[in-house]
Structure 1
Amino acid sequence: MYAEATADLARRVLDALHGVGGTAPLADFVDGCADPKAALAAVRVLGADTLAPQALTGAAAHPRDVAAIAQAAAVFPAPVFTQPPPAGLIENWTAAWRDWATTRLVAHHGGAVSEAAEPQAGPALTDARSWQRWSGMMAQLAPLSLPGVDGPVRDVARRNPVPLARGTTRAMLRRDHPTAARLVRWLAALVQERVPLPLDPLPIVDHIALHTGGGPRIALDLAVARRMLVAGAGAD
């Protein structure tokens, strides 16, 4: 049920990114879902990506959507890390980063919500020498590639375009399209910021779109990447 709700919400966010649907898609989704708890869980799973339309267009977040995000956080509290995580807690630590990004975007786009504490970075984030492991972690942090989420994670991405490109290429060779779609978002974000890359992200976006069965979450990742690539090209 939770997976279905997350897929449905991803479709709603993608529609909003394309200018389709109502002005408060998150609230409408929660209000109309047969299982409100599953709907709130979906809001938590997508995290900052629920505000991708606002991040990419500069629009304000609807107050009802902000209330839905706050309600989801109250029902499903995020973990808090005051120290860098031990190896077994990386997934909880990346969830804490995504929660921090969500509250940053809410505040950036006119909403009033308690800002989540910024997790400690530590070597798990800053050391990209083991690029296979590191790029897998950055895939989990893909929502932080959205405009308006500046901070330590984006700083590390700016410093490591080659490991990001290697991770994307590895995911493509392994036909791990969900991971590749998340990593190509980081490459698109670096294009938008004029960071030199060792490869062109656009053919990767096109390849994933052509060779996967789709699915709303991959479609959302690719739509976000395309928007950032267009913005980067338009600024030339």
Structure 2
Amino acid sequence: MEQSGASPLLPGTVQDLAAGVVSALRGGDHAPPVVRTVADDGADRLLLAAVRVTGADLLLPNVLLRTAPHETELALFRRALEAFPPRADSAPAIRWSHWAMIRTLRRLEPPGPDGRRGDTPPEPDASRLDAAPWQVLTRQLAVLAALAVPGEECAVTRAARRRPVDVSRGFVRAVRRRDWQQAAGAGRWLTLLDGVPTTLGLEAGLDFVELMGGTDPRVALQVQAARSIRAGVFV
């Protein structure tokens, strides 16, 4: 999401949403209280912005568990998409995040009266990822970790699949730089890739990232997503 003058309350609300996703991935309740208590007559812009920042991962437990999201949660997800569309000059990461949300919405929303769901728009361009230095590749993949979902294909997934060693190098670099969010996002991608060096020690690395990430639920979300995907318990 691109928003100038964003509320100082936004990061805390994003963390609340991320904590709810983590709880669901660990087998607890899904929607956090801030979502479940929103009235049907509309959510405030702060919550919509937080949903947009959280992106497709807000509904990740539903995707992995193959369950229907709560109506209020799905409505918030849809309204966040409408409230914060990409601008004409938006960065590719913004466009991809928006596209990922639409793909998730189409997958989970009830079909219309004709039994059909809406179409997912064409993918944004991802050609730069193939030529990007491994440091840039890892940074971009970490930002787009919500696209790292089993069984889902897109240009970003294919670019990551072609460069498992580079993503592994990026994971190690992020750990050494103590960039726990980037490390967690890269680790999530690595759970989906073939050809990851066995010397990487990904499972132990994810444990370390979770420990050092402290109480940041955004880090915990990516680590827990990686573990769930790695264990294959939901798919």
Which one has a larger percent helix, Structure 1 or Structure 2? 1
The residue number in structure 1 matching 2:129 is 125
Residue number in structure 1 paired with 2:180: 177
Q: CA deviation at 1:186?
A: 0.2
- Aligned amino acid, residue 99 of structure 1: H
1:142 to 145, 163, 176: 145
Once the 2 structures are TM-superposed, how far is the Cα of residue 4 of structure 1 from its aligned partner? 1.0
Task: Go from structure 1 to structure 2 and tell me whether the alpha carbon gap of 1:219 and 1:23 turns closer, same or farther (over 3 Å shift).
Answer: closer
Q: How does 1:96-111 map to 2 (within 5 A)?
A: 96-111=95-110
The sequence identity of aligned pairs, in percent, is 34
Q: After TM superposition, give the deviation of residue 60 of structure 1 in Å.
A: 2.5
- Large movers: runs of 4+ above 6 Å: 23-26
| Structure-1 residue corresponding to 2:216 | 215
The residue that corresponds to 2:12 in the other structure is 4
Bigger mean CA offset, 211-220 vs 169-178: 211-220
Partner of 1:196: 195
Distance 2:229 2:218 in 1: 17
C-alpha distance in 1, partners of 2:212/2:85? 37
Shift of 1:21: 2.7
Distance 1:225 1:187, change over 3 A: same
TM-superposed deviation, 1:148: 4.7
Give the equivalent residue in structure 1 for 2:160: 157
Q: How does 1:8-19 map to 2 (within 5 A)?
A: 8-19=16-27
Is the contact made by 1:30 and 1:40 (CA closer than 8 Å) also made in structure 2?
no
Distance 1:46 1:29, change over 3 A: farther
Q: Is the 8 A contact 1:103 1:115 kept in 2?
A: yes
Q: Which residue of structure 1 aligns with residue 52 of structure 2?
A: 44
Q: Is residue 161–residue 197 contact of structure 1 (8 Å, CA) maintained in 2?
A: yes
> In the alignment, what sits opposite 2:229?
228
Distance 1:202 1:155, change over 3 A: same
Partners of 1:49 and 1:224 in 2: how far apart? 9
Alignment of 1:56-67 (within 5 A): 56-67=64-75
Q: Which residue of 2 aligns with 1:53?
A: 61
| 1:17-41 deviations in Å (ceiling 9; x for gaps) | 2332367978416449xx8211110
Pair 78,216 (structure 1): closer, same or farther in 2 beyond 3 Å: same
| Equivalences, count | 218
Distance 1:168 1:22 in 2: 29
- CA contact 1:48–1:98 (8 Å) conserved in 2: yes
Comparing 47-56 with 206-215, greater Cα deviation is found at 206-215
Q: Which runs of 5+ in 2 are unaligned?
A: 1-8, 111-116
Task: State the shift of 1:80 in Å.
Answer: 5.5
Alignment partner of 2:171: what SS?
helix
Distance 2:150 2:39 in 1: 28
Provide Cα deviations, 1:141-163, integer angstroms capped at 9, x if missing partner.
11110235311111111111011
Name the aligned partner's letter for residue 224 of structure 1. A
Which secondary structure does the structure 2 equivalent of 1:189 belong to? coil
**Runs of 5+ unmatched residues, structure 1:** 82-88
